[in-house]
Amino acid sequence: MTLTEAQLATVKAYFKQRLWQQERSYEELLDHFCCDVEAYMQRGLSFPQALHATQQCWNEEEVQKLNFSNQKSLTMMHLFSFVSVLLAFLTFSPMNGPAVAPLEPPQECPLQSEEFRETASFGEYWHPLKKRTHFHKGIDWQAPIGTPVHAAGNGVVVTAEAHDKYGLRIIIAHDETYETLYAHLGELHVKRGDTVTVGQWIGNVGVTGLTTAPHLHYEVLKNGQAIDPKQFLP
């Protein structure tokens, strides 16, 4: 199994975030990391699950060991590869079960505070700024600035940046099918490549982007298409 260009780009973004692209054995590290991801995928995991599992095995100390010297680097990488594949087998064996949080469709409300109310639902509505009927792709919840926003499910952060329309936004991939989007945030507490668990604090309600008041705009996307988030709320 070989990673797609989009999946490889996600791995490279994770390496850039960790500054591993500056290592002298970058190409070897990247190849080894991808092999570990592919090994997990061959065992039936989706790409986000495989990426998450590989990230759990890798850390800065192990990278430093791999880069101890040019001569020892290759030997260490082979040894580490064997250990990683062995861990993959043990971690997901029927006897032990998964050691990482399973990825699945979103299942929780991203706002857990009681200080919020719904101001716009999924579907057609009158847009106060555009002065015309507009199709709303998610749910808007009005809440005080600074209200914590939580991940609706386990997943991998694929976007955490400013957007002209959405302001500060976060997109989390939960599996190969579902993603959630959190927009108009005032603060981001995660970055691209981070793995998150359901209920994790990922940001705060703000008033950024195209908006008239502080609120959270929340979307659920299935295969890239927005669907009604209410079917995934508890």
Residue range 213-229: average pLDDT? 93
- Which of 140, 136, 203, 215 shows the shortest CA–CA distance to 172? 203
Distance (Å, whole) CA 223 – CA 178: 6
Q: Please, what is the average pLDDT of the chain?
A: 79
| Bridge partner list, 171 | 159, 181
pLDDT for 168 equals: 97
Tokens of 140: 């808007």
Neighbours of 214 (CB within 10 A): 18
pLDDT for 128 equals: 66
Phi, psi of 151 (to 5 degrees): -65, 135
Q: If pLDDT is split at 50, 70 and 90, which confidence band does 37 have? A: confident
Using one digit for the tens of pLDDT, what is the confidence trace for 57-106? 676 555 655 554 444 444 444 445 444 544 544 444 444 444 455 667 89
- Which of 85, 15, 22, 82 shows the shortest CA–CA distance to 50? 85
Q: Specify the higher pLDDT residue, 52 or 204.
A: 204
Whether the per-residue pLDDT at 227 is higher than 90: the answer is yes
For CA atoms 183, 184, 187, 192, the dihedral sign is: positive
pLDDT for 73 equals: 45
pLDDT for 69 equals: 41
pLDDT for 229 equals: 95
3-state secondary structure of 77: helix
Residue range 47-61: average pLDDT? 72
Using one digit for the tens of pLDDT, what is the confidence trace for 131-170? 778 788 999 999 999 999 999 999 889 899 999 999 999 9
pTM of structure: 0.60
| 8, 40, 56, 67, 166 from 209: Cα distances, Å | 30, 39, 34, 43, 5
Distance (Å, whole) CA 7 – CA 9: 5
pLDDT for 76 equals: 47
Distance (Å, whole) CA 43 – CA 172: 23
Question: Do residues 154 and 53 make contact, with C-beta atoms less than 8 angstroms apart?
Answer: no
Distance (Å, whole) CA 232 – CA 220: 8
- Which of 31, 43, 38 shows the shortest CA–CA distance to 54? 38
- Which helix (H) or strand (E) segment is 47 a member of? helix 47-57
Alpha helix ranges (H) inside 69-136: 70-91
pLDDT for 89 equals: 46
Using one digit for the tens of pLDDT, what is the confidence trace for 172-187? 998 878 999 999 999 9
What letter does residue 206 receive in the DSSP assignment?
A: B
pLDDT for 50 equals: 78
Distance (Å, whole) CA 146 – CA 130: 27
pLDDT for 65 equals: 55
Q: How many alpha carbons lie under 13 Å from residue 33 in its C-beta half-sphere?
A: 28
- Which of 84, 85, 65, 82 shows the shortest CA–CA distance to 73? 65
Whether the per-residue pLDDT at 9 is higher than 70: the answer is yes
Using one digit for the tens of pLDDT, what is the confidence trace for 114-130? 778 998 888 887 766 66
- Which helix (H) or strand (E) segment is 178 a member of? strand 178-188
pLDDT for 219 equals: 96
